[in-house]
Chain A
Amino acid sequence: MSERRGVLGVHAVLVVSSLVMVAPFAWQLITSLKTLSSATAVPPTILPEGRWDNYAKVFDLLPFGEQFLNTVLMAAGRVSGQVLFCSMAAYAFARLRFPGRNLLFGVFLSVLMVPPQLFVIPQYQIMSSLGWLNSLQAIIVPGLFSAFGVFLLRQFFLALPREIEEAARLDGAGPVRIYWSIMLPLARPGLVALGILTLLWAWNDLFWPLVVNTDPGKMTLSAGLAALQGQYQTDYPVLMAGSLLASLPVIAVFVFLQRQFIQGIAHTGSKG
């Protein structure tokens, strides 16, 4: 009897707190479908009004299509680059023997401990001297390499059984074959975890894209929205429509890949 009351109590607390978590998004959607005058009505109206033209207005105010494409390409570039390069390095650190391995791994790890703001000014100068300001390369290339990714994947490779690899080696397979046809397929959950986290961070990244790409057509959605916010501070329905459109793709990926997302996040917390 009291067990049952306990369960009900837990549900009550969780339902209320879940509503607190979700209500802002519901309000964002409702506001995005109102006219400015009904969005600023006192007391507020709850029902959405179907003003889809707010969404069209986002495309008028911002080069939204271009910025969307820039963001997709940036995320795709960073994800594929990191998954490839990090898995290569992680495999070497986990399985190959070479002089200076531990020292080099320590150097990689040291990068993890530095706040990323320390990289920004020199990176900006590199981009500027290459003539890469306001380009796709500027937002992709520095994001291809990740000490975190190497560290995460190395944990995965270390946890794999050695026997399969040994068998392949006896059959005459070299390091490249073993890495590509044996280790990579086995480490798939790790690659997915890294891919998802990189996607999330790339899509939502603000500082670096804001700094290197200042031309609206070259901006990412994050930076574009921040600029929109500066210019159209008070047209809330349009701002809500834009912010919803910009964050929706990653939310959609999350909904579809929920299990992998959550495992990926949980992995960042497991010390190993």
Chain B
Amino acid sequence: MTTARAAHVAKRRGNRTQALWGYAFIAPTGLGLAIFNLWPVAQTAYFSFTEWGAFGGHTWTGLDNYTRLFADPEVGRAMLNTLTYTALGLIGIPLAIVFAALINRPGLRGVSVYRTAFFLPVVTMPVAVAMLWRWLYNGDYGLVNQALAVVGIDGPNWIADPATAMYALVVVGIWSSIGYNLIIFLAGMQAIPKELYEAAAMDGAGRVRQFFAITLPMLSPTAFFISIISVIGSLQLFDLVFVMTGSGQAARANPAYARLQTVVQLFYERAFVTNDRGYAAAIVIALLVLIAALTVVQFRLQRRWVHYV
């Protein structure tokens, strides 16, 4: 009886030490996230109801920022641009699936070469990517228009022309993210049991048939994941546009600026160029709501197209 009691006490003491170590181990990240992430979210929410003076300090102004936001054509435009970019960017997902399926063909040689080629833009600094494409898209000397000139087409000034700027931007967005999606789809494809393909081949299904009957449905959970993170990422687009349009005076000189400016770019200008931080806070809260809404919608829609085994 006493030994049982002693064991019980020892176990309780063991549990307590374990619990203390548990808290100690999560303490650094826990405190860091509390200071730099959790508290800032609460503060940003609070700031969105305030107005900032020219010399620091802020005053409570209730819903003013939000009423201003709804009436502000610049916000509406930035939202529309961002949503357009996000929607068009989704084309990259089926493209990535097709390329992944081609690369995944059994016994294909040179897989690592192709994979590397697709992945290179993913590891390249977005600022460098944007500078590079600005040069390729240059209206007078860019490689794109020089190539078009060979076949007799006089190409536009892609990112400075309101009619083409958004499409040109989407192409860069897809070019720089397709490798990431492709790697994840490849991993997903490799997890599909080989037996399914063998059985289908026995039933006389060709590769194309197998792709539509097996690969696509089995891959739909992966595609769902990619579409969730692509939408979230696209809605936060900043780097590419910031470098392609520039900021401040130079940006406003770009005739296509109104077609390109994104929500986060507008946030940057309000928060750190014009120092209108209360309004900037309201803009990112609106962005949070938009992201949450589109994520919820996607989760609702997944029943229609995602197959879970």
A54 lies within 8 A of chain B by Cβ: no
Kindly list chain A residues whose C-beta atoms are within 8 Å of the C-beta of B128. 225, 243-244, 246-247
Kindly list chain A residues whose C-beta atoms are within 8 Å of the C-beta of B99. 14, 17
B239 lies within 8 A of chain A by Cβ: yes
Kindly list chain B residues whose C-beta atoms are within 8 Å of the C-beta of A110. 38
Kindly list chain B residues whose C-beta atoms are within 8 Å of the C-beta of A271. 221, 225
Kindly list chain A residues whose C-beta atoms are within 8 Å of the C-beta of B280. 121
Which parts of A185-233 form the interface with B (CB within 8 Å)? Answer: 200, 203-204, 206-207, 211, 221-222, 225-226, 229-230, 233
Output the least CB separation between B185 and chain A (Å): 8
Check B180 against A85 for contact (C-beta < 8 Å).
no
Please indicate which of the listed interface residues B116, B135, B239, B281 has the most CB atoms of chain A within 10 Å of its own CB: B135
Check B37 against A92 for contact (C-beta < 8 Å).
no
Check B127 against A25 for contact (C-beta < 8 Å).
no
Segment at the interface with A among B40-48, B71-79, B162-170, B192-200: B40-48
Could you say which of B17, B21, B47, B125 contacts A204, with CB atoms under 8 Å apart? B125
Which parts of B78-134 form the interface with A (CB within 8 Å)? Answer: 99, 102-103, 105, 108, 110, 112-128, 131-134
Check B26 against A89 for contact (C-beta < 8 Å).
yes
B54 lies within 8 A of chain A by Cβ: no
Check B242 against A206 for contact (C-beta < 8 Å).
yes
Q: Which residue of A lies closest to B277 (CB)?
A: A121
Output the least CB separation between A201 and chain B (Å): 11
Check B135 against A239 for contact (C-beta < 8 Å).
yes
Check B187 against A270 for contact (C-beta < 8 Å).
yes
A91 lies within 8 A of chain B by Cβ: yes
Check B121 against A222 for contact (C-beta < 8 Å).
no
State the interface size on chain B (CB cutoff 8 A). 97
The docked-state distance in angstroms from the alpha carbon of A85 to that of B19 is: 18
Please indicate which of the listed interface residues A18, A104, A271 has the most CB atoms of chain B within 10 Å of its own CB: A18
The docked-state distance in angstroms from the alpha carbon of A89 to that of B69 is: 40
Kindly list chain B residues whose C-beta atoms are within 8 Å of the C-beta of A11. 108, 110
Q: A21-B121, A265-B184, A270-B187 are in contact. Are A97 and B28 (CB under 8 A)?
A: no
Kindly list chain A residues whose C-beta atoms are within 8 Å of the C-beta of B287. 115, 117
Interface string of A101-140 (1 = CB under 8 A from B): 1001001101100111111111110100000000000000
Q: A203-B125, A211-B272 are in contact. Are A150 and B29 (CB under 8 A)?
A: yes
Q: Which residue of B lies closest to A259 (CB)?
A: B112
State the interface size on chain A (CB cutoff 8 A). 99
B246 lies within 8 A of chain A by Cβ: yes
Kindly list chain B residues whose C-beta atoms are within 8 Å of the C-beta of A43. 146, 149-150
The docked-state distance in angstroms from the alpha carbon of A207 to that of B271 is: 12
Q: A108-B29, A118-B288 are in contact. Are A18 and B113 (CB under 8 A)?
A: yes
Kindly list chain B residues whose C-beta atoms are within 8 Å of the C-beta of A99. 19
Check A85 against B32 for contact (C-beta < 8 Å).
yes
The docked-state distance in angstroms from the alpha carbon of A159 to that of B35 is: 31
Check B127 against A85 for contact (C-beta < 8 Å).
no
Segment at the interface with A among B60-68, B136-144, B151-159: B136-144
The docked-state distance in angstroms from the alpha carbon of A18 to that of B284 is: 38
Check A225 against B131 for contact (C-beta < 8 Å).
yes
Check B243 against A229 for contact (C-beta < 8 Å).
yes
Q: Is the interface of A mostly helix, strand, loop or mixed?
A: helix
The docked-state distance in angstroms from the alpha carbon of A145 to that of B186 is: 30
Check A111 against B120 for contact (C-beta < 8 Å).
no
Check B33 against A204 for contact (C-beta < 8 Å).
no
The docked-state distance in angstroms from the alpha carbon of A207 to that of B40 is: 16
B36 lies within 8 A of chain A by Cβ: yes
Kindly list chain B residues whose C-beta atoms are within 8 Å of the C-beta of A240. 131-132, 135
Output the least CB separation between A16 and chain B (Å): 11
The docked-state distance in angstroms from the alpha carbon of A120 to that of B271 is: 9
A31 lies within 8 A of chain B by Cβ: yes
Kindly list chain B residues whose C-beta atoms are within 8 Å of the C-beta of A236. 135, 138, 141
Q: Which residue of A lies closest to B32 (CB)?
A: A145
Q: Which residue of A lies closest to B117 (CB)?
A: A18
Per CB-CB distance, the 7 closest pairs between chain A and chain B, nearest first, are: A145-B32, A98-B22, A269-B184, A122-B40, A243-B128, A18-B117, A92-B25
Which B residues have a C-beta under 8 Å from some C-beta of A?
A: 15, 17-23, 25-26, 28-30, 32-33, 35-41, 43-44, 47, 99, 102-103, 105, 108, 110, 112-128, 131-136, 138, 140-141, 143, 146, 149-150, 175, 179-180, 183-184, 186-188, 207, 221-222, 225-226, 232, 235-236, 238-239, 242-243, 246-247, 250, 264, 267-268, 271-272, 277, 280-281, 284-285, 287-288, 291
Q: Could you give 16 example pairs across A and B, Cβ below 8 Å?
A: A21-B117, A27-B143, A88-B26, A88-B29, A96-B21, A97-B19, A111-B33, A118-B288, A121-B47, A122-B39, A145-B37, A147-B37, A239-B131, A243-B128, A247-B128, A261-B119
